[in-house]
Structure 1
Amino acid sequence: MQAILTVAAPIFAVILAGYLAGRFRLLGYEATTALNRFVSIFALPLLFFGTLARTPVSAVLNPALLAAFGLAVLATFGLGMLSTRIASRGEGGLAAMSLQGIASSWGNVGYMGVPLCLAAFGDAGLPPAMLAVIVTAVVSMVMGVMMIELEVAAGHGPSRTFVRAAWNVARNPLPLSIALGLAVSAVGLEIPVPAAKFVDLLGAAAAPCALFAIGLFLADKSIKHGLLEAGLATLTKLLLQPLLAAVLLSLFLDLHSVPGKVVLLMAALPTAANAFVLAKQFDISIEQNTAAVLLSTAASVVTVSALLVWLRVT
């Protein structure tokens, strides 16, 4: 119960504050876009870069965690694709199946996961959290976008499709900041004090602003259709992925170690807003993916809180 009061409740309270601000238009119509850009371009990338630049690469690129979490994400991506094929009675194309796979496997590891791990485990939770961000970006983002492009850009050839998908990931500030942070750590460069202060100052804004931005995003969306696919994605993301992660992690390390707890928590997070963003970008399965983000985020209030209690997070 203490974990709910001290960790989960403040996290979801900030999301609720953002939701109420968006619902009553307290910050204006452009607030969601502006805050999302601040978080994704400045605050989160600088938090990632600053943390990784000061952390040994070996502490982040843990092969056991990479394998366990990567397999869990990959498996739920595949199950998500299969579920929409069944729900649509074989009528869904590759792009729609890929978007369902993204909704079923791509957790909100950046905006929600990093603040949650910081609140639950302090700085010790950041390196494995960054690993989860890396794996999610590589598996769900690269593979998902590539498979969507295969249908949308049919006829352009697999090599061009791969390059386009890889470019979409490479120009994203989050993966780029992770790569730069790992590079600085690997060569042993020390960040000058003024630059470090700047990085830390903006990075400290990442957690509250990211959580508030989630609330603003949810306030702008509503559920009308696509509940079947959204329900299947929610069950796969909130229940099946952490269960698979727990089984796989137990083969490599102690689930009650900090890295084990962090990765298990990251596996239990709701669907990321990126699922809606990609659906909107390609104009495919927009209502289903919007519903998946809303349903899974609402349900995660219970499931994530329960997991924190089970993990005995204080």
Structure 2
Amino acid sequence: MSVVVNVVLPVFAIILAGYLSGKAKLLGSASSEALNKFVYWMALPPVLFLGTARRPLAELLNGPFIGAFLGSMLMVYALGALLGRVLHKEKSETLCMQGLTACFSNTGYMGIPLFIAYFGADKLAPAILATVIMSAIMVGIAVIWLEFAASHGQGLGKALGDVGRAVAKNPLIVSTAAGVTWSLLLPQGSVPQPIVTFCELMGAAAGPCALVAIGLFLATRDIRAPAGEIAWVVALKLLAHPLLCWLLIRTLFPMDPFWTASAMILAALPTGALTFVVATQYRIYIERTSAAILVSTVLSVVTLSVLLAVYAPG
């Protein structure tokens, strides 16, 4: 219970504060957009850079973690698209978004703040690795699928080019790559103190601002959507994803307790806001994506509380 009181409740209290400020019109939709851009472009990149620059590459490239986390995510992606086809007879673009919404964890805006509060700022390697996987691989798969579907099979080359350009401009990917390069070229821990101080000061805003941004986002979104569909999408995200991750850890990808706990917690996170960005960009599945983000975020207070209690330090 102390884990819930000391870690989970404060995290969700900040989200609630953002939500209430949005509903009360203290901070409107323009504030939500500005805060999201601040977190995405200015606050999170220093956290990712410092987290990778002071860690050996071998620690970041944890093969079993990648196998369990990414493997379970791809399984849920496929399962979500399959259920969408069987239950709703949806078109290809919608199947893509159903699968993405069912498997996409909110690792950047919620995972990193949660890890800072729960494990400490020096234990961000799993959250950083998961964020890179989400931003580069999962968004990349979705963009290729959507571009390929929109071009009726004639635009795969264009889709790959779009993904490459998007990854090259992604501040989360660029800052992580810069940190990895620093770690490879210079002795571990040799980041000059002025850079460390800058990253720590800027990065300190990432957690609370990201959580407030989630609350503002939820307060300003239309949540009308089919209840039955949202139910199974959220069930895949909060239940099937961590369960499949646990099965892969138990059978194929055993890990030490810290990386096991990290994989389970990150798999159990609610649907990430980047799914809404993709949906808006391609003008498909927008309302249902918003509803899934809201419902999964609210319900994740229960699932995350259980997992954090099970995998408490020590």
TM-score scaled by structure 2?
A: 0.94
Partners of 1:104 and 1:236 within 8 A in 2: yes
**Aligned-pair identity (%):** 39
Aligned mates of 1:221, 1:273 — CA distance in 2: 11
Partners of 1:124 and 1:258 within 8 A in 2: no
Partners of 2:136 and 2:173 within 8 A in 1: no
Instruction: Give the count of matched residue pairs.
Output: 311
SS in 1 for 2:25: coil
The equivalent residue for 2:264 is: 264
The equivalent residue for 2:63 is: 63
Partners of 2:4 and 2:305 within 8 A in 1: yes
C-alpha displacement of 1:155: 5.5
SS in 1 for 2:288: helix
The answer to whether 1:278 aligns with 2:278 is yes
C-alpha displacement of 1:3: 0.8
C-alpha displacement of 1:253: 2.8
Aligned mates of 2:9, 2:310 — CA distance in 1: 16
SS in 2 for 1:224: coil
Partners of 2:29 and 2:220 within 8 A in 1: no
Question: Aligned to 2:105, which of 83, 107, 119?
Answer: 107
Deviations 1:58-87 (A, max 9, x none): 111111111111101111111111121123
The equivalent residue for 2:210 is: 210
C-alpha displacement of 1:191: 2.9
The answer to whether 1:141 aligns with 2:139 is yes
Deviations 1:114-153 (A, max 9, x none): 1111111113430111111122223321101110111123
Change (3 A) 1:98 1:68: same
Tell me, which stretches of 5 or more residues in structure 1 are unaligned?
Answer: none
The equivalent residue for 2:199 is: 199
C-alpha displacement of 1:178: 1.3
Deviations 1:46-66 (A, max 9, x none): 110111111111111111111
Q: Aligned AA for 1:301?
A: V
Aligned mates of 1:39, 1:5 — CA distance in 2: 26
Partners of 2:3 and 2:312 within 8 A in 1: yes
Aligned mates of 1:64, 1:50 — CA distance in 2: 23
Choose 95-104 or 129-138, whichever is displaced more.
129-138
TM-score scaled by structure 1?
A: 0.94
Misfit runs of 4+, over 4 Å? none
Aligned mates of 2:71, 2:136 — CA distance in 1: 12
C-alpha displacement of 1:193: 2.2
Tell me, which stretches of 5 or more residues in structure 2 are unaligned?
Answer: none
Q: Aligned AA for 2:226?
A: G
SS in 2 for 1:30: helix
Aligned mates of 1:252, 1:83 — CA distance in 2: 27
